[in-house]
Structure 1
Amino acid sequence: MTDTPVTEMSFEQAMAELEQVLGQLERGDVALDQSITLYERGAALKARCEAKLKEAEEKVAAITLDSDGNPTGTTPADIQ
């Protein structure tokens, strides 16, 4: 686990750490207290991934194309 707050992680960072957490929990080689902490961190990471995916979906949905296939109705900053 990293010390980075979940709310500051990119989708990729959160997903990578979530995979690590799941691996540790699946192996079952951690103490009960640590398992609970890992589970809580995993739940927060899952929520972060879901939020980032929803944000990306909303940005994609907001993009409309003109007759030439160019994005309209958004600014380059909106697309990032």
Structure 2
Amino acid sequence: MRRFFFDLMIGNIVKIDPGGMVFECPEATFVVANEMASHLFVWRDDLRDRDACIRVRNADGREIYRAAVWSENMAKVGWDEM
């Protein structure tokens, strides 16, 4: 099992994940990062129009994935606008 970190990136500001989570395979982190980004879109309307994403890093600090904070439809409609 390996540890992976999920940082919040807003433009060129990075909020580092200090503890991370343990996963058996790196591909599982992609699903988690996508879910985090989706939840942030719904609950953090201040991140919707900014260049925000969840960056996944391995224990060596190397970026392995990014999930953008966005809605699945083209209009970027949030839960409060449906």
- Please tell me whether Structure 1 or Structure 2 has the larger radius of gyration of its CA atoms: 1
Q: TM above 0.5, one fold?
A: no
Relative to the length of structure 1, the TM-score reads 0.31
Which structure ranks higher in relative contact order (CA pairs < 8 Å, sequence separation ≥ 6)? 2
Relative to the length of structure 2, the TM-score reads 0.30
Is the strand fraction higher in 1 or 2?
A: 2
